[in-house]
Structure 1
Amino acid sequence: MMAAAAQYQHPVRVRGFTLLEVMIVLLLMGLAASYVVFNAVGTEPADELEEQVRRIQVVTDMASDYAVMNQKQMGIRFEPDEGVYYFVFLNEENEWQRLEENDIYAERQLPEPFYFTLNLDDLPWEQDSLMADREIFDEDFALGDAQTDIGNEEDKRLPPPQVLIMPSGDITPFLLTFHYEPGFGSDLPVYYQLKNEDLPPLELDGPLEQVPQ
C-alpha cells in the first residue's frame, strides 16, 4: 500500500533560475575565486586595480540587461572625489532612487591608493541621439548641490546619474580612467580605461603605462 501511495504522489514543482540570477552567481563565484588566488600569491596593485575595473565592467553590463528585462530607466552615479559609484533608477515620481533590490548594485568605493576620473564630453564615438537624451534628463531632473542639501536627510533627493542606462539597454557614452600612481618605491604607474560607445559590453583597455591623450 505504501508503494502504491508513493506512486500517486503529486510531483514537486521545481522553480528554475532566471538568466540574471545565474549571471549574478557566476560573477560572485568568479570574484570570490579571484580573491582567493590573489590572497594566496600576494596581490599586486595593478592586479587589484584590474579586478576593481572588471567588476564595474561586468556589473554595468548586467545592469543593462536588468533595465531591459524590467523596463526601467536606470543610471550610474559616480563621485570621483570620494571614489564612489552606485546604481539608481527613475521611480514613478520621476525621482532618482538607489537600486537596492540586489546588493550587487549597491554603493561601492574604490580602495586607496586607486582613483578614477570620468569624462562625458568630446568623446570621439559619442552618439548624438543618446547625448540628447542625457541632456534632456540633465535639464528635467538635475538638481544643484544647494537643492539636494535642503531639508532633512530623508527628504534629500539623489543627484542625477552622469551615465544613463535606457530601458532598451543602451548606455550613454562615457570614459572612465582608473589610476594607480605610486609616489615611492619601484612600482610604475598603471592605468585602465573603461568606455562605452553605445551598446554593451563595455570596452576595457589596459594595463596602460600612461593615459592616452
Structure 2
Amino acid sequence: MKPIRRSHSSQRTRGFSLLELMVVIVIIGIAAGAVRLAVTGNDPVQELEQAAGQYAYRMERIQDQVLLSNRERGLIFVQDGVYQLEWREGDEMLSEPEIVWSLYEDEKVWGVSEDIQLGLTLENQWVELNQALPTEQFALEPHVILLPSEDYTPAYDLTLSLTSSINDEVRVRADGFNRPEVLRDER
C-alpha cells in the first residue's frame, strides 16, 4: 500500500499580523482624538477654572506648611500672582516698624498668564492690585494672613477673568475658615 500524499496548497489563509493590527488601532485612536477636539471646542473659561483650581490647591499646601511650622505667614497679591511673606519683629534701634514683612521665597507661589486678569475683594472691599511688589523698604504688607490654626484673615474673593472677555469669570471664595473654593460665575 502506498502512502497517501496530500497536496499542500500554496495558498494559505492569511490574517493580519500583530504589527498591522497595532498600526490600525493607533490610527483609529488619533482620529478619535481629533474628532473629540473638534466636537468639544475650546471653552475659554476652562483655562480660568484650571488656574483657579491650581490656586486653591497651592493655598491648601501653604496652609499645611503654616500649620506644621506653627508660624503665621502672609499673602500679597499682585496683578499676575501671589507671593508668600514671612515676618519678624522689627528693631527699634534701627527705626524699623514693629513687624517687618519679607518675601518667604523669591518666586511667586502662584501666577497667571497675561491673558488672565485678577481682582481681589477683602471682606467685601475691592482692592487695587499693584503690577509688581513694592520696592520701598518696609513696604511689603500682606493682604491676607495665614494662621497656624488653619484660619486666615480677612475673608476674601479672588476673581479671575480673561483680559479679552468680561462675559465669564471664575472666583475663588475664601471665607476665613474653610479651604478656598472655586466657583464659576456666568454673567
Give the TM-score range, shorter chain.
0.5 to 0.7
Distance 1:120 1:180, change over 3 A: same
Q: Which amino acid aligns with 2:69?
A: N
Structure 1: which 5+ residue stretches go unaligned?
A: 1-40, 124-147, 151-155
Matched with 2:138 is 157
More helix by share: 1
> Is 2:180 the counterpart of 1:199?
no
Q: Secondary structure at the match of 2:123?
A: coil
TM-score, structure 1 length as denominator?
0.53
Q: Which structure: larger Rg?
A: 2
Structure 2: which 5+ residue stretches go unaligned?
A: 1-36, 91-98, 126-133
Equivalent residue in structure 2 for 1:83, among 73, 80, 84: 80
Report deviation, 1:74: 0.6
> Is 2:171 the counterpart of 1:174?
no
Cα deviation, 1:86-129, whole Å, max 9, x if unaligned, reads 111213543212222xx9x7344321221111011337xxxxxx
For residues 5-154 of structure 1, the aligned pairs below 5 Å read: 44-79=43-78, 82-93=79-90, 94-100=99-105, 106-122=108-124, 149-150=135-136
Q: Secondary structure at the match of 1:85?
A: strand
Deviates more, 1:41-50 or 1:69-78: 41-50
Report deviation, 1:43: 6.2
Distance 1:177 1:122, change over 3 A: same
Structure 1 segments, 4+ long, off by >6 Å, are: none
Aligned Cα root-mean-square deviation (Å): 2.9
TM-score, structure 2 length as denominator?
0.60
Corresponding pairs, count: 133
Identity among equivalent positions (%) equals 20
More strand by share: 2
Report deviation, 1:163: 0.8
